[in-house]
Amino acid sequence: MQIVIVGGGKVGTALVRSLSQEDNNICIVDVKPEVVRQLATEYDVMGMVGNGSSYSVLKEAGIETADLLIAVTEHDELNLLCCVIAKKASKCQTIARVRNPVYSQEKRFLQRELGLSMIINPEQTAAAEIASLLGFPSALGIDSFAGGKVEMIRFKIPAESKLDGMTLQAVNAKIDSPFLICAVDRDGQVSIPRGDFILRSGDSVSMVTSRKSAKNFFEKIDMNTNRARNTMIVGGGKITLYLAKMLDNLGIAVKIIEKNPERCLELSEELPHATIVNGDGSDEAFLKEERLDTMDSFVALTSMDEENILLSLMAKKKVSRKVVTKINREQLNEVIHNLELDSVVYPKLLTAQKILRYSRATKNSLGSNVKTLYRMYDDKVEALEFYVTENSKITGIPLRDLKPKNGLIAAIIRNDKLIIPDGQTEILPGDSMIVVTTQLGLKDAGDLLSE
């Protein structure tokens, strides 16, 4: 695909890095020459210095022949204007990052009237991720497929767990529930396990199942499945606003700690059911006064990564069920892995991943189409949902004869029902299938097969 990306910030950089690995022709546009130069050099892409809302700049960047324009500057209005101009100049698809809550309320109207393919809000996306985690505290991460009918749940095997020392075959025999363990991260080494794989305490495990079956699975291994009843959030930014509204709908009581008095007033007007407290959330004594130890969950959403990390480490010793940490900088990844944090959310990466998913889905192939895509374990593994068409080369063949390389077929959705496949299962036209693989960049399910 020919892709023009306007904005070379954190999201733009993540997009350039991911999309440049997938046989796309990319031009990055930014007003800062040093940003363009660095991205163009590091990722071997085209670069254009200039304002992305300028027709002449976009024309020179190749908009007239582009398949997709992605506008991810820091300014909502500029992103929308870039998309409008791109639509006038070509037949390309357009994606705009829009962060203002006012615009988010008008998302459908803007998308329809401006002809946008997608409007994405990083803060709202991050809030939805956090709300999902608080609704299922045992999970480190939850990814949805087939419109939410199937989930990939990542969890860590605790010390002295029943799973410690068991093979996957033994786990399947012990727990009567449709699930498939499809990826395991042990000390930074990621495996796509087979039946004789032995699980160990400390493993980070990804499992494909339904939410109902997941509850049964975790109950059988004595891990908590009840949603949090209340949560304390430190930081009163945009993510907090979206998250508090989502949690209110879930019946989860919210207490927000924010040190800016004016922002507290704004939040109290927007969130009548939440408890808003003006104070310093980095003060451990203050949090103790606010009864942190009575909370089921804790979410660190300040603007400083280091503060969020320290708060989360402290809160892990106090709260009973779940701690979620927001991180903006990917550079802290290696440090974070060694800190034993609970769940970590990267708003910029969630945004980039959602756009990458859309980009991959537009590349229709002969047999199957990518419907959903997630990257896991520091981009070492991809989980993809494919729609299987009539002329797919993988239909009507038992899975034992397909011999997938570098991955496995984890689930099949047929007539809205989840099937955990075995060697006898055959894929049929009209199925959706979930593939987990270390072979990044798949565009068709057939690409997973051995030659």
Residue 326 falls inside a structural domain: yes
Residue 402 falls inside a structural domain: yes
Same domain, 79 and 147: no
Residue 428: both structure tokens together: 């049929």
12: domain CATH number is 3.40.50.720
Same domain, 237 and 323: yes
pLDDT at 134: 93
Same domain, 393 and 444: yes
Q: Where are the beta strands (DSSP E) in 289-404?
A: 297-300, 322-326, 343-345, 368-376, 381-388
Same domain, 406 and 374: yes
pLDDT at 367: 41
Same domain, 43 and 140: no
Same domain, 334 and 402: no
Residue 21 falls inside a structural domain: yes
438: domain CATH number is 3.30.70.1450
Q: What is the DSSP letter of 22?
A: T
Q: What is the DSSP letter of 323?
A: E
Same domain, 135 and 211: yes
Give the C-alpha distances (Å, rounded to integers) separating 25 from 3, 96, 118: 6, 19, 20
Residue 248 falls inside a structural domain: yes
Q: What is the DSSP letter of 56?
A: H
Question: Can you list the residues of the chain whose pLDDT is less than 50?
Answer: 365-368, 451
Residue 353 falls inside a structural domain: no
Domain's final residue, options 220, 242, 271? 220
Same domain, 295 and 370: no
Q: Which long-range contacts (CB under 8 A, 24 or more apart) does 328-331 make?
A: 328/10, 329/10, 329/305, 330/10, 330/14
pLDDT at 364: 52
Q: Which helix (H) or strand (E) holds 413?
A: strand 407-414
Domain's final residue, options 63, 92, 120? 120
CB under 8 Å to 37, separation ≥6 — which residues?
Answer: 47
Residue 421 falls inside a structural domain: yes
Same domain, 188 and 241: no
pLDDT at 365: 42
CB under 8 Å to 374, separation ≥6 — which residues?
Answer: 143, 152, 353, 357, 382, 383, 384
Same domain, 174 and 105: no
Q: What is the pLDDT of residues 15-57, one digit of tens each?
A: 999 888 877 899 999 999 999 999 999 999 999 999 999 999 9
Same domain, 12 and 115: yes
336 near 326, Cβ under 8 Å?
A: no
Give 123-136 as a DSSP string: HHHHHHHHHHHHHS
Same domain, 298 and 362: no
Sign of CA dihedral 243, 249, 251, 256: positive
pLDDT at 368: 43
Domain's final residue, options 312, 345, 378? 345
Residue 351 falls inside a structural domain: no
In angstroms, rounded to a whole number, what is the distance separating the alpha carbons of residues 392 and 395?
6
Domain count, the chain: 4
Range of the domain at 115: 2-120
Residue 323 falls inside a structural domain: yes
pTM for this one?
0.85
Exposure of 351 in the CB half-sphere (CA atoms within 13 A): 29
pLDDT at 83: 96
